[in-house]
Amino acid sequence: MSTSQQQQRVILVTGANKGLGFEVVKKLIKEPSSSKNDLILLGSRDLKRGQDAIKQLGSPANVHLLQLDTSSPSSIAQATNEIKQKYGGKLDTLINNAGIFIHENTVDAARSVFATNYYGIRTLNEHLSPLIKENGRIVNVASEVGAWALHEMSNDLQKKYKSSTLTKEQLDALVGDFISAIGSNRLEELGYNSKLPFLIYGTSKAALIALTRVEAREWSGAKNVLVLSVTPGLCKTDLSNHAPEARSAELGADSIVFPVNASANELENGQFYQDGQQKPQSCACPKDLSHLSKKQE
């Protein structure tokens, strides 16, 4: 095997046909040290949009389209099989970038958001973690809104999400109770701040940050795999309706790419990062978002 083949990394980026995921792929193929060696799998739910994205990138030979709807267990199973059949069944890095945001505060909206932002990532990671190579990385793209949402929960609920012995089953139960409570108007009773803007989205990302910590405990031992969560910050993408105050998607992508390339001694397994700096699992929102709550009603 040649040196270039030995050094080749296989990197999957989900939700990569536009926005942050597209910018992440663009950055990965422009890196001088890796652009010739890395094989990038551009994950896209829609085949045509994925093909168009690759054309926008200039159809580089080392970027391959992988059709993947992270909210669909059957699509995840199919994509896993494709990786096994076409790419040797090995991944160096999985970047879970796919995510959605819905303004409504309804049970249906919560189910849709959690299907992609939590359950989809949980299921995809279960399928693909056995394929991650020695010293590989799993990067879950969360949000600072998740840290704000956790900070607004009751102390008892915060302890549950932050517990060092939290299991996936316990986290699933927390998530299930949250979704049910939206329909029964029991959010405050459970310890959630029902007035928090972006409550459903924020709670889905709080759950993802907690899931990252659980996965890090489960998977790091055997192959020194690092499981990390990151926030790109509020970026000008379709998800934010290209908010004028937002940072560029290119800058947000830097936050996502950092744990892909950083050395292991720069990272702490299971932790939450932004712009290369470790962030707390929960923190107070530094902005006044009260004016945004009406937009969700």
In angstroms, the CA 52 to CA 275 distance is 29
In angstroms, the CA 65 to CA 42 distance is 5
In angstroms, the CA 284 to CA 149 distance is 8
Q: Which of 274, 266, 199 is nearest to 231 (CA)?
A: 274
Other CB atoms within 10 Å distance of the CB of residue 22 = 22
**35 DSSP assignment:** T
Which residues, at least 6 apart from 266, have a Cβ–Cβ distance to it below 8 Å? none
**254 DSSP assignment:** H
Name the residues annotated as catalytic: 201
What is the SS3 assignment for 129? helix
In angstroms, the CA 257 to CA 13 distance is 11
